[in-house]
A and B are shown apart, each in its own frame.
Chain A
Amino acid sequence: MTDTHDVLFRTLGDPTRRAIFESLCRDGEQTVGALTARAGISQPAVSKHLGLLKQAGLVRDRQQGRQTHYTAQLGALAPLTDWTNQMARFWESRLDDLEDLLKRMDQ
Chain B
Amino acid sequence: MNDTSLHTRTVTVEREFAHPPEKIWRALTQPHLIEAWLMKNDFVPAPHHRFTLRGDWGSVACEVLEIEPQRSLSYTWAALGLDSVVTWTLTPTASGTHLRMDQTGFQPGQDAAYNGARYGWNKFTAALDEVLGRLDDAANP
Contact = CB atoms under 8 A, between A and B. Distances in A.
Given A77-B131, A102-B17, A105-B23, A9 B121 contact: yes
Nearest to A104: B36
Interface residues of B, number: 40
A74 B128 CA distance: 11
Interface of B: 9-11, 13, 15, 17, 19, 23-24, 26-27, 33, 36-38, 82, 99, 101, 103, 105, 107, 113-114, 116-117, 119-121, 123-125, 127-128, 130-132, 134-135, 138-139
A86 interface: yes
A75 B38 CA distance: 32
Contact of A87 (B119, B125, B130, B139): B119
Given A87-B11, A94-B37, 14 more contacts: A18-B128, A25-B138, A74-B135, A83-B113, A84-B105, A88-B13, A91-B11, A92-B13, A97-B37, A101-B33, A101-B37, A102-B17, A102-B24, A105-B27
A interface, how many residues as a size bin? Answer: 20 to 34
Given A13-B123, A90-B119, A98-B27, A81 B132 contact: yes
